[in-house]
Chain A
Amino acid sequence: MSDSQHEIIVCQGTGCVSGGAEQLYSLLQKELAELNLSDSVQVKGTGCHGFCQRGPLVVVEPEGLFYSKVGPDDIPDIARSFLPDGRPVDRLFYYDSTIGRTLPCYHDIPFYYKQQRLVLRNCGHINPESIDDYIESGGYQAIHKAVFEMTPEQIIDEVKQSGLRGLGGAGFSAGQKWEACYVEEADQKYVICNADEGDPGAFQDRSVLEGDPHSVLEGMIIAAWAVGASQGYVYVRAEYPLAVRRLKIAITQARERGFLGKGILGSGFDFDIEIFQGAGAFVCGESTALVLSIEGKRGLPKLSPRPRTTQYGLWGKPTVLNNVKTLANIPLIINHGSSWFASRGTEHSKGTAIFSLTGNVVNSGLVEVPMGTRLRDIIFDIGGGIPNGRAFKAVQTGGPSGGCLPAELLNLPVDFDSLTEAGSMMGSGGMVVMDQDTCMVDVARYFLDFTRRESCGQCIPCRVGTKQMFDILDHICRGQGRPEDIDLLEELGKSIAETSLCALGQSAPNPVLTTIRYFRDEYEAHIKEGYCPAGVCFFYQ
């Protein structure tokens, strides 16, 4: 390799760090120093690259060489590859089993080139702990534009025109939410970033906060300017220590540079952000429960009809509450304009969707695609299909309250409305792929076990109903199902969805109802024929 300026990027996302990436980082620095290469080769830590399955990841720029599953023993070879007669370390290149070829560069790998990374634009490219890196990549320009060139009305209009919908799950128009808060008269307003990502298997909010925290802060600052808020909170799970650490660093840096605090960038606009760590209740991701949790109260969703959070939110003041990914989109919309943003996606779902692709899939990781991309393209083209020659059985989208969709629906476009119609939902973006060896009754049982534990206990249908559905599913999985159980589950599911107080209970029956809808024969095999077709459930006598 030549001796011109190189950059070695060592992924410091949670997945790679747990695989020893912190050690790789320091080893690499030591090794380069010993070879007197420290001046020509920079080592940089970044956030998550998304291809967590192949971690720890090391990327060499500007060539874009992609080394996967890197271990400490590989470091000397990587370092020596930068010597004048050095050769790239072929054995660490990614081997694509579907095309039977080794692909040295990350932009040749289908997992990457088939994605369209907007929210994840900086993840894996910039050092999340350096504000300069963010500014160099075009960061904080949107604040300049928003504060000095645009009125709040213009910003709200731009966001409305873009068609951006809340990416936390509900899919409510972000611009309309801002407008509803903007028109309220109040001495104090708040902007809250919802980073209480609690779905099992979902990690996209965490990855954005760990990989590009400044983009979220910038989105919050623009939101605050638009609606007239002076205080912001990031409500983040305490289970995300790395995200909390990087957020703290980012907030301190933003204050030092005058992007936060009194008189932002010399204007008359004051805004500051505090971090609030959640105490581990899934239901606190629900907007009204989240607000109560910040106020120090029990996190119970408020009853409807109720005033909207944009009218009566935190401490009774108008509050805008947006998801991490929604906010990370804002700087892009301000910089590039609403029509640029609205050019991707479907008629009613604009922009991109981000999924944590996990389960029985070759390439698990973080995936961002335009809204409307087919499930098949995400699972087979980007995800690389099902490992070990197994057959695809189902995909579960939208977290614990999403539905399980069968192979017949693989051509379904992924957007808010199509998923809801099929009995699932976008949710916050979990996507769990299951192969032929998965028992769908057991899957439903697993998700109901989650929701029954996380129910706040306030309303009867959710509190007692999720427990009852779990008990029935548990009996079926143990060979103690009764002939009437399938009808009973459907009857209960519909009633719980209809009567529950908040979205948690209203969507909790989804895994049961969709598995019955699409995999009824498996339920019948358990109950009537006394066996588990997938061989997962063990029947006691």
Chain B
Amino acid sequence: MEKVKLIIDDLALEVDEGTSVLAAALQNDIYIPHLCYHPALEGRGACRLCIVEIDGSLATACRVEVEPGMVVRTKSPEIDQAIRPVVELLIANHHITCRGCPSSGKCQLQKLMAQLRIDRRRVRRLRVPDEELPLDTSPPCFDYDPNKCVLCGICVQTCEDLHGTSSLYFLNRGNETRIAFYGDESRCASCMECIKRCPVGVLMPKQTRSTD
């Protein structure tokens, strides 16, 4: 495969042709904030966090392929002003405490907060949701916590990618959007990939699985 040379944060890199800017950075241990990106899937650009400066203008790194001579900056006051409020919004909307959360420690949102050094005092300026939604235990293969879901869509994309058609999809719109399971148990191949790939652990294996 052809190699492409580019510069990310003053580092000269060489990556495979067709790689996205985000993948190129992550492969070379340069962290760019992201939530909806998974290396096995096409960049969806939905979380809007991987915004970087490419040749002087802002763009989502997961949606832009590397080009020879490209100059990328992953940090600047402008980028920070754009994405920091988005992360803070997400945290405020995500039931601020991590205590007792099963995915604490391996959660992408925690990583994001650490990387961006999110100041909790700034987050406290925001209004938090006043109602706690119940756990959705109706899907046959997992339980779903809508309160902490960031709606990255990785589970939906994964199911579609692996099985041709997704048995998971978005339900409702706006802030009411949820992940829902469509159809019955026969639609699920029980591959568990959706659970494994969830960046914030809102898809959880069933507590009590049938033993037949």
Residue positions of A touching B, CB distance < 8 A:
281, 283, 298, 303-305, 452-461, 463-468, 471-472, 475, 482, 484-485, 488, 491-492, 494-496, 498-501
Contact = CB atoms under 8 A, between A and B. Distances in A.
Contacts of B173: 281, 283, 453-457
Contacts of A454: 173-174
A304 B81 CA distance: 21
Contact of B90 (A304, A464, A466): A464
30 contacts: A303-B46, A304-B45, A452-B174, A452-B175, A453-B174, A454-B173, A454-B174, A456-B174, A457-B170, A457-B173, A457-B176, A458-B151, A458-B153, A459-B46, A460-B35, A460-B49, A460-B90, A460-B151, A461-B89, A463-B151, A464-B175, A465-B86, A468-B92, A471-B127, A472-B126, A482-B125, A492-B85, A496-B85, A499-B51, A499-B83
A455 B177 CA distance: 10
Nearest to A498: B82
B64 A457 contact: no
A538 to B, nearest CB: 20
Contacts of A459: 45-48
B148 interface: no
A494 B83 CA distance: 10
B7 interface: no
A298 B153 CA distance: 14
A495 B86 contact: yes
Contacts of B45: 303-304, 459, 501
A452 B172 CA distance: 12
Nearest to B62: A303
Interface string B68-82: 000000000000011
B85 A303 contact: no
B90 to A, nearest CB: 6
B151 to A, nearest CB: 7
A273 B174 CA distance: 32
A475 B85 contact: no
A441 B4 CA distance: 52
Contact of B127 (A453, A461, A463, A472): A472
B63 interface: yes
B111 to A, nearest CB: 16
A482 B46 CA distance: 31
A458 B81 contact: no
Contacts of B202: none
Nearest to B35: A460
Contacts of B150: 460
Contacts of B157: none
B89 A460 contact: yes
Given A304-B63, A471-B127, A491-B85, A460 B47 contact: yes
B37 to A, nearest CB: 12
A26 to B, nearest CB: 43
Interface in B85-103: 85-86, 89-90, 92-93
Given A298-B170, A488-B125, A498-B58, A460 B48 contact: yes
A501 B46 contact: yes
Given A457-B177, A459-B47, A495 B60 contact: no
B84 interface: yes
B151 A457 contact: yes
Contacts of A468: 89, 92-93, 126-127
Given A458-B153, A460-B48, A495-B82, 6 more contacts: A281-B173, A298-B170, A456-B174, A460-B49, A499-B83, A499-B86
A227 to B, nearest CB: 28
A467 B174 contact: yes
A98 B80 CA distance: 54
A463 B170 contact: no
Interface residues of B, number: 37
Given A457-B175, A460-B89, A499 B44 contact: no
Contact of B84 (A281, A453, A495): A495
B204 interface: no
Interface in B114-150: 125-127, 150
Contact of B174 (A455, A482, A491): A455
Contacts of B153: 458
A303 B125 contact: no
B81 A455 contact: no
A471 B47 CA distance: 21
B59 interface: yes
A305 B175 contact: no
A454 B176 CA distance: 10
B189 to A, nearest CB: 23
Nearest to A306: B63
Given A468-B92, A471-B127, A488-B125, A460 B174 contact: no
Contacts of A492: 85, 89
A305 B63 contact: yes
Contacts of A488: 125-126
* Of A457, A482, A501, most B-chain CB atoms within 10 Å: A457
Contacts of A498: 58, 81-82
Contacts of B82: 494-495, 498-499
Given A455-B174, A488-B125, A303 B60 contact: yes
A73 to B, nearest CB: 47
Given A475-B127, A492-B89, A498-B82, A303 B151 contact: no
Contacts of B64: 305
Contact of B177 (A463, A466, A484): A463
Given A456-B174, A488-B125, A501-B48, A494 B81 contact: yes
Contacts of A491: 81, 85
* Of B82, B89, B170, most A-chain CB atoms within 10 Å: B89
A281 B170 CA distance: 15
B86 to A, nearest CB: 5
B173 to A, nearest CB: 5
Contacts of B83: 495, 499
B48 A461 contact: yes
Contacts of A456: 173-174
Nearest to A458: B46
Nearest to A281: B173
A56 to B, nearest CB: 37
Contacts of B127: 468, 471-472, 475
A459 B45 CA distance: 8
A485 B125 CA distance: 8
* Of B46, B84, B153, B177, most A-chain CB atoms within 10 Å: B46
Contacts of A303: 44-46, 60, 63
Contacts of A304: 45, 63
Nearest to B58: A498
